[in-house]
Amino acid sequence: MLLQPEGNKSMPTNISNSSPSLIEIQQNILQNFYALHQFCEYNNIRYYIIGGTLIGAVRHEGFIPWDDDIDIGIPRPDYDRLLELADKFCDKTNGRYKICHTGNDEGYFYQFAKSYDTQTTVTENFINEFTRGLWVDIFPLDATFTTPFLRKIHFNIIRRLIILCAIKSGGFPIPKNLIKRKFKWLIHKFIPISSAMLNFLITMILKIKKFGNASYIGNFVGAWGYKEICRKHLFDESIKLKFETFEVNAPARYDEYLKGIYGDYMIPPPPDKRYSHHAILRIDLSPYIHK
């Protein structure tokens, strides 16, 4: 039986397979998030909505109207524990939702985890097409150095390894420029290091600082880069914010956090900027097949 959020909005357990609308996609992802939220709460795993999901909760009490995903950040100690409990989460949801990461999913190349809905199919448009289900992004929040110079070095090493890993694994958008395409092919062909080794190095460097006594933390693998590094005290306390039909966890000092990344986040972007940035080839609300 699927876990259902309480509230006035109806959350369908069966969604039509033909040309899913944005509303259908959001409703599907919300079910996934609710199951993950319940699991984290039950197992005392700290999580916070971050990025556009946090803006949505503050500005719209739910999804940004044109958004099609959910982002959460989890402090590294809790993140590692969640990955250890991934099989239990899958069992708890009767196999409907599966937490995937580089340690349990061959061919997975993201440096963060995702909770996939196995009853849906999404193909992303990378050098090697990548098919799983609709997802919730689960980002680790890692500690970093207090000194700005060392913090920058820490960040830049990780980001360059992530790019190299994406090229090696084929999990990189297809460059339109022919010269760039050939350059990335050469890197992929001749650099003698495997994606598995790169993933191991990235994880080790991400965890180089202990979370407990850090002054600065951040989402090193997020879309906004260095802007997502902030003082740890912004995440020391959490509050509940309404997100669609239930309440979720958010950093208590969310205003300072959001302004550091987006500036005046309460002003929506112009209409021509209101779209998803994911490179999606196909979405089908029927089960995906993945070995």
Q: What is the pLDDT of residue 79?
A: 98
Is 189 a residue whose pLDDT tops 80?
A: no
Q: How far apart are CA 104 and CA 206, in angstroms?
A: 19
| The predicted structure's pLDDT at residue 274 | 84
Q: Half-sphere exposure of residue 23, counting CA atoms within 13 Å on the CB side?
A: 5
**Residues with Cβ within 8 Å of residue 85, at least 6 apart in sequence:** 39, 43, 45
User: Could you read off the pLDDT of 265-280 as tens digits, one per residue?
Assistant: 999 999 888 887 777 8
- Is residue 29 assigned to a domain? yes
Residue in 54, 110, 45, 104 with CA at minimum distance from that of residue 234 = 54
Q: What is the pLDDT of residue 169?
A: 77
Task: Assess contact for 140 and 221: CB atoms under 8 A.
Answer: yes
172 lies in some domain = yes
- Is position 6 within any domain? no
**For 195-207, what is each residue's pLDDT tens digit?**
889 999 999 999 9
pLDDT category of residue 290 using cuts at 50, 70 and 90: low
Nearest to 67 by CA among 277, 240, 219: 277
Average pLDDT (166-192) is 66
Question: Would 62 be classed as within a structural domain?
Answer: yes
Give me the domain span that covers residue 85: 22-284
Q: Is residue 122 part of a domain?
A: yes
Confidence grade of residue 8 (pLDDT, cut at 50, 70, 90):
very low
In a domain, 9, yes or no: no
Q: pLDDT tier at 164 (50, 70, 90 boundaries)?
A: confident
pLDDT tens figures, 92-144: 999 999 999 999 998 888 999 999 999 999 998 887 788 999 999 999 999 99
Alpha-carbon distance of 107 to 143, in angstroms, equals 27
Q: Average pLDDT over the chain, rounded to whole?
A: 88
pTM, entire model = 0.89
Residue 15 counted as domain residue: no
- Determine contact, residues 74/139, Cβ cutoff 8 Å: yes
Percent of the chain with pLDDT over 70: 86
State the total domains in the chain.
1
Q: Is residue 33 part of a domain?
A: yes
CA pair distance 40, 47, nearest whole angstrom: 7
pLDDT value of position 7: 40
Phi, psi of 117 (to 5 degrees): -90, 110
Asked if pLDDT for residue 36 goes beyond 80, the answer is yes
pLDDT in tens, 134-151: 999 999 999 999 999 999
